[in-house]
């Protein structure tokens, strides 16, 4: 028994202040566990995992995201359900050489003058083509005015779709879910033609 106690006491005494310096790698390994390198993660995962002290940044990003979404919603409401009205203007058999097309919004056909208001204008180019974009669905009247300086235009009057001089005779254009292709034929100026 005494021998056994002697053994234990000697070992205890021997290892009482026993120490050894561990390899330097041990600290490096420990440090990498305590302070891991940030992983490359996806954008949205990164936003969600942002540390607590970036609360302001998360708030700013959140507000910006909401603003963008609201903008897109407003943009869609304003322009999403819009169509185009395009076509050609003719002076006789030929395409009109330059002019201006005017689109008028009609609210109530029974009172044309009070309910008609100018909606948009478009250039009629050398090829006689015009185009209105982002047009809201509804009822319209279309008028083409030839450019007075063009020689080929001088025998033709400003006209309503499809070929009318006066407003009351103009054909109503109804824009629904699809784009419209509409050609306007200008009314000949018979007084000039006779000359």
Partner 1 sequence: MISEKEIVSLCLKNDVRAQEFFYRLFAGKMFGVCLRYAGSIMEAEDILQEGFIRVFKNLHHFRFEGSLEGWVRRTMVNSAINYYKKQLRFKNEIGLNEAITFATNMDDGLSKLALDELLNIIHDLPVGYRTVFNLYAIEGYTHKEIGALLGISENTSKSQFSRARNAIQMALGKIKSERPG
Distance, in Å, from the CA atom of 160 to the CA atom of 144, rounded to the nearest integer, reads 6
Closer by beta carbon to partner 1, 31 or else 109: 31
Return the number of the residue (9 or 127) whose C-beta is nearest partner 1: 9
Considering the complex, what minimum distance in angstroms separates the CB of residue 54 from partner 1? 16
Could you say whether residue 38 binds partner 1 (CB under 8 A)? no
**Residue 40: DSSP 8-state:** -
Least Å distance, CB 13 to partner 1, is 9
Report the alpha-carbon distance of residue 34 to residue 31 in Å, rounded.
Answer: 5
C-alpha 57/C-alpha 170 separation (Å) is: 59
Residue 37 interacting with partner 1 (CB under 8 A):
no
Contacts (Cβ under 8 Å, ≥6 apart) of 5: none
| Closer to partner 1 by Cβ: residue 10 or 109 | 10
The verdict on 21 binding partner 1 (CB under 8 A) reads yes
State the Cα–Cα distance between residues 146 and 144, nearest whole angstrom.
6
Give the interface with partner 1 as residue ranges (CB under 8 A): 3-4, 6-8, 10-12, 14-15, 17-23, 25-27, 29-31, 33-35
């Amino acid at each position: 028994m005494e021998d056994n106690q002697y053994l234990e006491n000697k070992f205890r005494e021997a290892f009482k202040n026993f120490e050894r310096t561990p390899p330097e790698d041990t600290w490096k390994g420990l440090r990498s566990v305590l302070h891991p390198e940030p992983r490359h993660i996806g954008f949205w995962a990164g936003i969600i995992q942002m540390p607590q002290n970036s609360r302001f940044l998360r708030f700013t990003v959140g507000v910006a995201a909401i603003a963008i979404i609201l903008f897109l919603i407003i943009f869609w409401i304003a322009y999403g359900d819009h169509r185009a009205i395009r076509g050609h203007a003719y002076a006789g058999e030929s395409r009109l050489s330059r002019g201006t097309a005017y689109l008028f919004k009609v609210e109530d056909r029974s009172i044309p003058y009070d309910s008609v208001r100018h909606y948009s204008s478009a250039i009629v180019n050398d090829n006689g083509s015009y185009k209105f974009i982002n047009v809201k669905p509804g009822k319209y009247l279309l008028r083409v005015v030839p450019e007075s300086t063009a020689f080929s235009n001088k025998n033709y009057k400003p006209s309503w779709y499809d070929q009318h001089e006066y407003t009351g005779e103009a054909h109503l254009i109804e824009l629904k879910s699809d784009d419209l292709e509409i050609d306007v034929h200008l009314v000949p100026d018979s007084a000039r033609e006779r000359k």
